[in-house]
Each structure stands twice: as C-alpha cells, then as structure tokens.
C-alpha cells in the first residue's frame, strides 16, 4: 500500500470574537457546531493572539512575531503603502512545497494590497473570494471604515464581484467553500483558510437569525449573537460537506478568533468614545479589557483543534499557545518537523503537546514590544507583566507582575521572591530592546 496522503487542513478564523462570545463560554450565545468541535477535539484554554487583526493574521500566516514583521504598532489601513513582508513564506507556500496542496482563502485578507504582490493569489493561494481591507458591509460589501476612502471591496482573485449586492457575506462565503469542496480532487490535499467577516460589527443592521435571540435585551448584543450563530451554521455546513466527500477522516480543523472582542462600552479600558459605533458589543468576561489592549480580554481568545489524527481528544488543554504556533504545529503533524528554513520564527510546534496531552513546551509568551506607544507585555508561567505609558518610572513596583488567575498558590509578594525578581529584570531588559523593522519591502 502507498503512503497515506497528507491531511486536509481547514482553518476557520472569527473576527473580533470575545472570550464569552462562544456557546461553551456563555449562557446566551448559541454556537452548537463550534461547541461540538471543542467537545470532541482539544479546547485551547490558554491560546493567545495579538490585540488587533493585522498583527494577529501576520503572525498566524508566517509563524513570525509581529515585532519582526513591522506590525507591532498598528493595523494595515486602506492607504498603507506596505503589507506582510514579501520575504516571508506563508501557509500555502509551505503546503504547496511539501505536498502540492490545493490552497484557497475565503474571506478577509487584511495583509496589504498596496502592490499586487501583497495579495493572496500572489502569495501561494490558488483562489481568493472575499475582501482585502479591514472590513466591509455584510450586505453591500463596501469598505467605509476610513472616512472618505470608501468603495466596493468584494473580490474573486483580482476581479471585483459586482453581482453580490444584498447577499449576506457569511452565506456567500459558505457557498464558495461548498463550491471549492465540491470541485476538489481528493487525490490532492486541501488547505481551506476561512477568515470570516463575522463577528465584526455590522454597519448596516443584520437581518439574519435575529429572531432566535429575543431573550437578549441589548440590540447590539442580540446582533452579535445572530452573527455568531450564522457563522456557526456556516462551519457546520462546511464540515458536513467535508464529511459527505469523505475528507474529514484525514483532516485537521482549527477554529480561533483573531483578537479579543470589542465591547461597545469601552469605559476607561480602551481608546475612543464610551459608545463606539465600530464595536460589536462583544464580551470577554471574566477576562479584563478587550480588543486593542494587552490585558487578557484583548489577546486570550476562543480556540480549538479537532482532528481524527489526534491521539487524545475530548479534553481541555492548559498549554500556553501563541497564534504563531499554529503553522509549525500543522507542519509537524504533516511531516514530523516544524519550520527550519526561515529566520525569526517565533512559533513552535504544539502537535505532540496537543495530540498526546503532553507537558507544555512554552512557558513564556512575549505579547508585544511597541516602542512607539511605549507598551509591552509578557506572560511567564502564571504571571503577566505589562508595561505602558502609565507605568513608566524608576520604581520597581511600577513593573510588578500580576498573577493570571488569583488563587492561594499565587498569593506571592514578588518583591520577596529572588527568582521572580531576577526574571522580572531580565524581561524588562528584553522588552526595552528596539525591535527589528521590516515594513516597506
């Protein structure tokens, strides 16, 4: 018998979905398909993304930390003259090189389009249906997020789609996924990357599935619940199509959010007015803060891995995982090794950790180092250190780490702990280094 074919890889990414915006973390959000994948797969309880979308997606696609992509300070805007550095290989390029995968993206790109070379089909994807910018209307597919720089952004490869007006983007993306699966030659492995628009805030009110949530009093929260439910339906439909084509038995399915949710009530924890029209009334409770912030609510996000290839499943992993780990993890599952041909790789393979429920391989995550806004954060074991403008000063107490979870085993006065003291000063020196910039490539 011949060697077993490389597994299909299905990567679902939600946009701005908070910790409490999935059914398994909420008593009023319905996501039965996501919940089922989490129950039957491995739920990642300490999975970290970046606090905003472009940096998260850059780290996801390259396994490189955003501080080495030039993405440590901001997102890519419509007029940004740069994109994800072109010298960086991304998922479809690795997968084509290894086993000639068929590679498709359906949904949001947001990794630059100042030059055509930055766009998906010039970076290894066989096709792209979706949008290049940070977001569009769910029905009119126009980007108007940046003032007067406004226009239709709905594309099939390099061509504008003009016949999709008034079609809900989640439905359009679902149909595209079904078309890809239907046309797929199963003698070739499939990589399907589905970065949904959901659950990003809706500029025009959503009409789909609102009737399922009369118990939610807040109109904005009810809308998020409806958007999340439609996305969950889409995931279930895609999974059923894969099952019908007998592709699931040899597949790895991943679901994550790109950053924490964007609460409508920002209060003192986030920039902007207390009622932000671009917020989606997400909830990150019991975590602190949300999108844009280095607090847990901004970067610790819902995530799971489902696959029949896992030796152990149906459990909650407490392993520390960064979004940049996913590419090395999948490559390890396919060929038994991570990435060894690129510089500045931050991601590490978590495949053996997750497949066998083994001892974690990470004890530390550098969340960000941004000298422009003078904000940085790092997690080390169960401790987290945040440096912001508010905390600049000579006093050691200004940089005192705080425990991730308050519990008896963590009630420690760090100033009387030589080991933690030494670690803290080493981390501070690391955080104050100037990062490597590589933007205008």
Conformational region of residue 420, where left means phi above 0, alpha means psi within -120 to 50, and beta covers everything else: alpha
User: What's the pLDDT at 405?
Assistant: 46
Q: How far apart are CA 246 and CA 140, in angstroms?
A: 35
CA distances 107 to 27, 79, 133, 366, Å, are: 28, 20, 10, 28
CB 28 within 8 A of CB 21: no
CA distance 165 to 157: 18
Q: Given this model, what pLDDT does residue 269 score?
A: 40
Instruction: Check 104, 110, 184, 262 and give the catalytic one.
Output: 110
Q: Which domains does the chain have, with CATH numbers?
A: 8-362 (3.40.720.10), 366-431 (no CATH)
Residue 68's Cα: distance from chain center in Å? 18
Q: What is the pLDDT of residue 202?
A: 85
Q: What is the pLDDT of residue 416?
A: 57
53 is catalytic: yes
Q: Which segments within 196-270 are labelled E, that is strand?
A: 251-257
Q: Where are the beta strands (DSSP E) in 67-131?
A: 102-108, 127-131
Find the radius of gyration of the CA atoms of the chain.
Answer: 21
Q: Look up residue 210 and give its DSSP letter.
A: G
Q: Give the pTM.
A: 0.91
Q: What is the pLDDT of residue 279?
A: 79
Residue 162 has what pLDDT? 96
Neighbours of 309 (CB within 10 A): 17
Structure tokens at 394: 């000579």
Contacts of 435 (CB under 8 A, 6+ apart): 67, 68, 72, 369, 371
| pLDDT tens over the chain, length 441 residues | 356 899 999 999 999 999 999 999 999 999 999 999 999 999 999 999 999 999 999 999 999 999 999 998 889 988 899 999 999 999 999 999 999 999 999 999 999 999 999 999 999 999 999 999 999 999 999 998 666 678 999 999 999 999 999 999 999 999 999 999 999 999 999 999 999 999 999 877 888 999 999 999 999 999 999 999 999 999 999 999 999 999 999 999 999 999 999 997 643 344 433 355 567 899 999 998 999 999 999 999 999 999 999 999 999 999 999 999 999 999 999 999 877 767 789 999 999 999 999 999 999 999 998 888 888 888 888 888 887 765 443 333 334 455 554 443 444 455 556 665 666 666 666 665 554 444 443
Residues 6+ apart with CB under 8 A from 318: 45, 46, 360
Q: Which of 25, 53, 141, 177 is catalytic?
A: 53
Give the largest Cα separation in the chain, rounded. Answer: 67
In the residue annotation, 110 being an active-site residue is answered as yes
For 122, 169, 261, 367, the CA distances from 288, given in Å and listed in that order, are: 39, 31, 11, 15
Q: Beta 190-195 vs 102-108: how paired, if at all?
A: parallel
């Amino acid at each position: 018998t011949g060697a077993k074919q490389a597994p299909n890889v299905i990567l679902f990414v939600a946009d701005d979905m908070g910790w409490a915006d999935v059914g398994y973390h909420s008593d009023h959000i319905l996501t039965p398909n996501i919940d089922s994948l989490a129950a039957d797969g491995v739920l990642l309880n300490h999975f970290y993304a970046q606090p905003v979308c472009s940096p998260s997606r850059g780290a996801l696609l390259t396994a490189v930390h955003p501080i080495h992509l030039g993405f440590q300070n901001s997102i890519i805007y419509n007029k940004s003259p740069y994109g994800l550095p072109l010298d960086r290989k991304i998922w479809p390029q690795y997968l084509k090189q290894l086993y000639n995968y068929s590679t498709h993206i359906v949904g949001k790109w947001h990794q630059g389009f100042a030059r055509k070379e930055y766009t998906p089909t010039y970076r290894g994807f066989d096709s792209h249906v979706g949008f290049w910018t940070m977001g569009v209307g769910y029905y009119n597919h126009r980007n108007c997020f940046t003032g007067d720089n406004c226009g239709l952004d709905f594309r099939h490869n390099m061509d504008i789609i003009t016949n999709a007006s008034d079609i809900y983007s989640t439905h359009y993306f679902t149909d595209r996924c079904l078309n890809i699966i239907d046309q797929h030659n199963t003698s070739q492995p499939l990589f399907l990357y589905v970065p949904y628009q959901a659950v990003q805030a809706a500029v025009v009110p959503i009409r789909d599935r609102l009737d399922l949530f009369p118990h939610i009093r807040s109109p904005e929260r009810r809308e998020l619940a409806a958007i999340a439910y439609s996305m969950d339906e889409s995931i279930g439909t895609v999974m059923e199509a894969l099952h019908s084509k007998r592709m699931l038995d040899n597949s790895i399915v991943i679901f994550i959010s790109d950053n924490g949710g964007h609460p409508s009530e920002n209060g003192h924890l986030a920039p902007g007015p207390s009622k932000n029209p671009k917020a989606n009334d997400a909830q990150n409770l019991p975590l602190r803060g949300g999108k844009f912030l280095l607090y847990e609510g901004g970067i610790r996000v819902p995530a799971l891995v489902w696959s029949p290839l896992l030796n152990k499943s149906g459990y909650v992993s407490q392993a520390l995982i960064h979004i940049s780990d996913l590419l090395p993890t999948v490559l390890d599952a396919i060929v038994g090794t991570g990435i060894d041909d690129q510089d500045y790789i931050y991601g590490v393979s978590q495949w053996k950790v997750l497949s066998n429920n083994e001892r974690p391989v990470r004890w530390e995550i550098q969340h960000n180092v941004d000298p422009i806004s003078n904000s940085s954060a790092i997690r080390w074991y169960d401790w987290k250190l945040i440096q912001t403008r508010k905390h600049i000063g000579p006093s050691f107490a200004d940089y005192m780490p705080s425990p991730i979870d308050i519990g008896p085993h963590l009630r420690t006065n760090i100033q009387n702990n030589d080991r933690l003291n030494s670690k803290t000063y080493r981390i501070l020196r690391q955080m104050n280094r100037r990062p490597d910039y590589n933007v205008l490539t």
